């Protein structure tokens, strides 16, 4: 058992941290937010130059040979800075779908373009009725010779309004909630029949509701087997949850650091408020919550590449539960202990709180994963 | 970074697991599984089995009987022994006074006392807390004065666990009443058979006799019964308490109790069917398991940090807080699984062969729940631990 980063990984962390420090001050971030796509194209370019966009992909696919640990490192730093770029959507989720579903030549093409910074992806999967059920897919894909035609609607497509291409899940066969018969299709975001309605999200990002009317997908753009996409989706979502855990740990550690700094500087009754035991003990409970979350971030990262789907699902659900609970406690207490200033839009802590809240809700909240874990049996088999 | 156990560590885990399975006497195992109190002889018997294998004081220096295992292996060992329902090592000797003696004691003290801890031929107890000195331990009032060729100890200790079995007690006593309170304390090793030592039992809420009051009425002990330097006892006590917090997470104990909970929850002990069929119960069980898995990883992180700089980590306070909370949560779940038959009381001290009033699987689930409230109080209460985190980690 070894928690040490390799020297390359340490360097990656230093590089990302340095870039965030230089480019992601909270005031600078406000300028990125004001852009039409809601993030910074310059930083996306900088990520490509740093090798971040190809970090978790195999070298034979055009990546840099890293894996879940490299993703964890980048996401934790992004979490501290509240970075807005669609790294999770493109590299983590999109990248995992490509890795697990696409044929080798598709994989090499797409990953090469992702790593170069030339392709931004979003996953168009959720629908109005689907909740967190990954198998609930109603948008239809009808065969037309070797091609497919998509009809239906997708929602909550994060960064869907600015993505270059969408990976769309669609029902090729069977009923709306069947596990079999789901395909994955790569669709140019500007293709005829695609209409996107972009909007801001609670955590300062952007998403889109997207309608597909008679959208034609060429055979080359069918990712893997068109009727057996769900295992790849589940696996990609598991890897994404592991990455979200790291982002959450980054955001939680920043919220705690800001809170402790505030406790040391804010004076009331003639003393710094950090001298009050009630607040000291609350801050200590935040440390406990953070360390437990960090441990589960490691556990999720280690398990993300597990080929045993059941063991992986248990580990990921366990991590999501811990992250959700810790994020709620730390987010709420960071606001409480800052007092009024945390309620203002111009101060960072409230935005960390909002992002943490949305992370808990992404891909199933703590209660949902607790139920799943309960149904799967002991974590200590 | 690789968080899997190595081949070597996995093989070691298998070896320890098999050893516990094959060597733990069935009568001891049955008592532990049921949550019943172990007798002094049970502890002695198991310690001798371990000592014969060379495993009774794994973390000690090899020259005094230690194993030379890596911290990860020590942790695996502890986990397996605990989960396998073997008696815990008597911490007062193995984890507390033993390391103080081999680190700060004289050669004569090492030779005299360490071998008796290895095979539990000497049972130690801890003379720290006093009626007026609990969390504020440094305000203790038990006094030691020099008189000719003796130290004379007078005062009272309390919460002295298993003093009724003890051959020796290690005692913090004030040797300089004029000094600042931490600077006038010394650390003594004292024979419980010395004239003037009186032990009085304290009955705990579960009805058991675990803790005692110990009175020192002008007890004369030799001059060489002091450890290290006079008035440096507080430093040795801090060293000891930092060691005590290692392993205080008791991950293996909680795993063993969760195994028991799952075992009982899977059988239809009442007409309503197995408890595990209740999704609400399953979710609550899963919540405790998540906490415990995170704690297990946190413990590994603390261990791997220690390996690097050798100093106790204030993060061990995190282990104490979560470990104790989880122990309490598992006793609550066990009580819930047992259900209505938690009600009958059985005297934990009664030496009787009479069968329990209720079904045998019920065991003393409620008594253990009541008793386990102690774990957030002892070893530095969880509030004290929060204070340590606030100061040592956050700088508040």
- Residues B228-285: tens digit of each pLDDT: 999 999 999 999 987 766 678 999 999 999 999 999 999 988 888 999 999 999 999 9
Positions of E strands within A218-263? 222-223
Which residues does chain A have within 8 Å of residue B286's beta carbon, measured at their own beta carbons? Answer: 318, 321, 370, 373-374, 379
Does residue A2 fall inside a structural domain?
no
pLDDT tens-digit readout, A11-29: 999 999 999 999 999 999 9
Average of pLDDT values for B386-390? Answer: 95
| Range(s) of the domain holding residue A189 | 122-227
Q: Are residues A42 and A146 in the same domain?
A: no
End-to-end CA distance of chain A: 19
pLDDT tens-digit readout, A74-93: 999 999 999 999 999 999 99
- Mark which residues 342-381 of A lie under 8 Å from B by CB: 367, 370-371, 373-375, 378-380
pLDDT tens-digit readout, A220-262: 999 999 999 999 999 999 999 999 999 999 999 999 999 999 9
Does residue A128 fall inside a structural domain?
yes
pLDDT tens-digit readout, A115-145: 999 999 999 999 999 999 999 999 999 999 9
Does residue A381 fall inside a structural domain?
no
Instruction: Taking each helix axis as running N to C, give the angle between helix B279-309 and helix B316-338, from 0 to 180 degrees, rounded to the nearest 10.
Output: 160
| Nearest Cα residue in chain A from B387 | A281
- Which of A227, A242, A261 is the last residue before a domain boundary? A227
**CA B382 – CA A201 distance, rounded (Å):** 40
Average of pLDDT values for A319-345? Answer: 97
Which residues does chain A have within 8 Å of residue B297's beta carbon, measured at their own beta carbons? Answer: 295-296, 298-299
Cα distances from B133 to residues B140, B211, B263, in angstroms, run 5, 16, 42
Q: Say yes or no for a CB contact (<8 Å) between B286 and A291.
A: no
- CA-nearest of B379, B247, B255, B390 to B319 is B247
- Which of A173, A200, A227 is the last residue before a domain boundary? A227
Sequence length of chain A is: 381
Q: How many CA atoms lie within 13 A of A203 on its CB side?
A: 21
- pLDDT value, residue A248: 98
Q: Are residues A204 and A290 in the same domain?
A: no
- pLDDT value, residue B302: 86
To the nearest whole Å, the CA of A375 is away from the closest chain B CA by 7
- pLDDT value, residue B308: 58
Q: Are residues A330 and A257 in the same domain?
A: yes
Does residue A109 fall inside a structural domain?
yes
Q: With beta carbons less than 8 A apart as the criterion, state whether A19 and A187 touch.
A: no
| A195: number of Cβ within 10 Å | 12
Q: Are residues A265 and A347 in the same domain?
A: yes
Q: Are residues A338 and A283 in the same domain?
A: yes
Q: How many H helices and E strands in chain A? A: 12, 10
A and B: number of Cβ contacts within 8 A: 138
Q: Are residues A242 and A367 in the same domain?
A: yes
Q: Are residues A360 and A238 in the same domain?
A: yes
Helix spans in chain B (H):
7-23, 26-34, 40-53, 71-83, 91, 98-104, 107-118, 233-245, 251-266, 279-309, 316-338, 365-371, 382-388
Residues with Cβ within 8 Å of residue A366, at least 6 apart in sequence: A320, A321, A323, A324, A325, A328, A360
Does residue A53 fall inside a structural domain?
yes
Q: Say yes or no for a CB contact (<8 Å) between A1 and B387.
A: no
Q: Is B3 exposed, middle or buried (0-12, 13-18, 19+ CB in 10 A)?
A: middle
Q: Say yes or no for a CB contact (<8 Å) between A375 and B282.
A: yes
- pLDDT value, residue A24: 97
Across chain A, mean pLDDT equals 96
To the nearest whole Å, the CA of A150 is away from the closest chain B CA by 39
**CA B362 – CA A362 distance, rounded (Å):** 42
Find the CATH number of the domain harbouring A341.
1.20.140.10
| Nearest Cα residue in chain B from A1 | B3
Write out the catalytic residue numbers of B: 244
**CA B96 – CA B170 distance, rounded (Å):** 9
pLDDT tens-digit readout, B143-169: 999 999 999 999 999 999 999 999 999
In this model, does residue B307 exceed pLDDT 70?
no
Q: With beta carbons less than 8 A apart as the criterion, state whether B65 and B57 touch.
A: yes
- Low-confidence winner among A298-302, A307-311, B173-177, B261-265 (lowest mean pLDDT): A307-311
Does residue A65 fall inside a structural domain?
yes
Q: Are residues A294 and A320 in the same domain?
A: yes
Q: Are residues A260 and A356 in the same domain?
A: yes
Per the structure, the count of domains in chain A is 3
**CA B100 – CA B122 distance, rounded (Å):** 16
Which residues does chain B have within 8 Å of residue A298's beta carbon, measured at their own beta carbons? Answer: 1, 3, 297, 301
| Nearest Cα residue in chain A from B317 | A288
Check CB contact of A296 with chain B, cutoff 8 Å.
Answer: yes
Backbone φ, ψ for residue A37 (5° rounding): -85, -5
Q: Say yes or no for a CB contact (<8 Å) between A5 and B1.
A: yes
In this model, does residue B310 exceed pLDDT 60?
no
In this model, does residue B204 exceed pLDDT 80?
yes
Share of chain B above pLDDT 70, in %: 97
Q: Say yes or no for a CB contact (<8 Å) between A283 and B289.
A: no
Does residue A244 fall inside a structural domain?
yes
- pLDDT value, residue B159: 97
Q: How many CA atoms lie within 13 A of B156 on its CB side?
A: 11
Tokens read off for A282: 């609350």
Average of pLDDT values for A275-282? Answer: 98
Residues with Cβ within 8 Å of residue A302, at least 6 apart in sequence: A68, A315, B3, B4
**CA B88 – CA B103 distance, rounded (Å):** 23
Domains plus CATH for chain B? 7-89 (no CATH), 124-235 (2.40.110.10), 246-393 (1.20.140.10)
Tokens read off for A181: 């018969």
In this model, does residue B304 exceed pLDDT 90?
no
| A79: number of Cβ within 10 Å | 27
Question: Exposed e or buried b for every residue in A118-140, given b needs 16+ CB within 10 A?
Answer: ebbbbbbbbbeebeeebbbbbbb
Q: Are residues A205 and A271 in the same domain?
A: no
Does residue A351 fall inside a structural domain?
yes
Q: Are residues A220 and A328 in the same domain?
A: no
Q: Say yes or no for a CB contact (<8 Å) between A260 and B4.
A: no
To the nearest whole Å, the CA of B92 is away from the closest chain A CA by 27
pLDDT tens-digit readout, A139-174: 999 999 999 999 999 999 999 999 999 999 999 999
Residues with Cβ within 8 Å of residue B79, at least 6 apart in sequence: B251, B252, B255
Q: Is A248 exposed, middle or buried (0-12, 13-18, 19+ CB in 10 A)?
A: buried
- Which of A202, A227, A252 is the last residue before a domain boundary? A227
Find the CATH number of the domain harbouring A176.
2.40.110.10
| Nearest Cα residue in chain B from A8 | B1
Tokens read off for A141: 């894909």
Q: Are residues A155 and A195 in the same domain?
A: yes
Find the CATH number of the domain harbouring A96.
1.10.540.10
Angle at A304 between CA A355 and CA A326, to 5 degrees: 35
Angle at B34 between CA B25 and CA B213, to 5 degrees: 90
pLDDT tens-digit readout, A25-78: 999 999 999 999 999 999 999 999 999 999 999 999 989 999 999 999 999 999
Angle at B180 between CA B178 and CA B181, to 5 degrees: 100
| Nearest Cα residue in chain B from A369 | B283
């Amino acid at each position: 058992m070894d928690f040490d980063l390799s020297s390359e990984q340490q360097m990656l962390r230093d590089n990302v941290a340095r870039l965030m420090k230089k480019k992601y001050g909270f005031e600078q971030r406000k300028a990125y937010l004001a852009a039409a796509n809601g993030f910074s194209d310059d930083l996306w370019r900088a990520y490509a130059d740093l090798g971040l966009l190809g970090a978790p992909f195999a070298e034979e696919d055009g990546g840099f040979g890293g894996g879940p640990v490299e993703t964890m490192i980048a996401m934790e730093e992004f979490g501290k800075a509240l970075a807005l770029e669609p790294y999770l959507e493109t590299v983590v989720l999109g990248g995992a779908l490509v890795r697990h579903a696409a044929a080798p030549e598709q994989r090499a093409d797409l990953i090469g373009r992702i790593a170069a910074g030339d392709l931004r992806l979003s996953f168009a999967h959720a629908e109005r009725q689907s909740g967190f059920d990954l198998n609930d897919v109603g948008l239809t894909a009808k065969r037309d010779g070797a091609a497919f035609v998509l009809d239906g609607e997708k929602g909550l497509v994060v960064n869907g309004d600015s993505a270059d291409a969408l990976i769309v899940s669609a029902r090729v066969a069977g009923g709306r909630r069947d596990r079999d018969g789901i395909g994955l299709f790569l669709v140019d975001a500007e293709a005829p029949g695609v209409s996107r309605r972009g909007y801001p999200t609670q955590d300062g990002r952007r998403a889109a509701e997207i309608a597909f009317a008679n959208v034609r997908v060429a055979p080359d753009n069918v990712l893997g087997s068109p009727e057996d996409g769900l295992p790849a989706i589940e696996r990609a979502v598991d890897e994404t949850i592991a990455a979200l855990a790291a982002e959450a740990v980054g955001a939680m550690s920043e919220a705690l650091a800001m809170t402790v700094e505030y406790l040391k500087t804010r004076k009331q009754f003639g003393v710094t408020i950090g001298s009050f035991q009630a607040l000291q003990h609350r801050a200590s409970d935040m440390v406990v919550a953070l360390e437990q979350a960090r441990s589960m971030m490691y556990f999720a990262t280690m398990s993300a590449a597990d080929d045993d789907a059941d063991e992986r699902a248990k580990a990921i659900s366990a991590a999501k539960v811990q992250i959700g609970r810790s994020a709620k406690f730390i987010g709420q207490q960071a606001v409480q202990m800052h007092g009024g200033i945390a309620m203002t839009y111009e101060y960072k802590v409230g935005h960390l709180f909002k992002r943490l809240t949305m992370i808990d809700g992404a891909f199933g909240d703590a209660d949902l994963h607790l139920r799943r874990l309960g149904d799967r049996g002991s974590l200590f088999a | 970074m690789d968080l899997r156990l190595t081949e070597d560590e996995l093989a070691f885990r298998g070896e320890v697991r098999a050893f516990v399975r094959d060597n733990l006497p069935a009568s001891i195992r049955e008592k532990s599984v049921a949550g019943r109190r172990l007798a002094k002889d049970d502890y002695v018997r198991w310690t001798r089995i371990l000592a014969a294998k060379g495993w009774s004081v794994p973390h000690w220096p090899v020259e005094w009987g230690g194993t030379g295992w890596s911290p990860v292996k020590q942790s695996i060992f502890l986990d397996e022994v605990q989960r396998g329902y073997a008696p815990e090592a008597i911490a007062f000797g193995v984890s507390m006074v033993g390391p103080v003696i081999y680190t700060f004691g004289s050669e004569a003290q090492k030779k005299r006392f360490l071998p008796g801890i290895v095979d539990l031929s000497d049972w130690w107890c801890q003379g720290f807390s006093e009626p007026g000195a609990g969390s504020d331990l440094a305000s203790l009032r038990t006094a030691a004065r020099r008189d000719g060729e003796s130290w004379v100890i007078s005062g009272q200790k309390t919460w002295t666990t298993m003093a009724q079995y003890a051959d020796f007690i290690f005692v913090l006593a004030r040797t300089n009443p004029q000094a600042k309170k931490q600077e006038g304390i010394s650390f003594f090793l004292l024979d419980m058979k010395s004239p003037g030592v009186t032990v009085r039992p304290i009955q705990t809420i579960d009805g058991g006799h675990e803790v005692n009051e110990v009175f020192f009425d002008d007890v004369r002990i030799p001059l060489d019964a002091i450890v290290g330097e006079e008035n440096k006892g507080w430093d040795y006590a801090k060293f000891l308490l930092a060691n005590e917090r290692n392993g205080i997470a008791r991950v293996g104990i909680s795993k063993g109790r969760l195994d028991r909970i799952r075992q009982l929850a899977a059988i239809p002990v009442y007409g309503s069917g197995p408890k595990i069929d209740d999704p609400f119960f399953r979710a609550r069980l899963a919540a405790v398991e998540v906490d415990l898995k995170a704690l297990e990883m946190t413990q590994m992180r603390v261990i791997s940090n220690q390996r690097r700089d050798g100093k106790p980590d204030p993060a061990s306070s995190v282990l104490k807080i979560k470990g104790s909370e989880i122990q309490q949560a598992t006793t609550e779940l066990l009580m819930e699984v047992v259900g209505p038959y938690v009600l009958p009381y059985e005297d934990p001290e009664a030496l009787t062969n009479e069968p329990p009033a209720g079904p045998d699987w019920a065991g003393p689930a409620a008594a253990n729940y009541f008793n386990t409230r102690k774990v957030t109080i002892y070893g530095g209460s969880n509030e004290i631990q929060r204070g340590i985190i606030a100061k040592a980690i956050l700088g508040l």
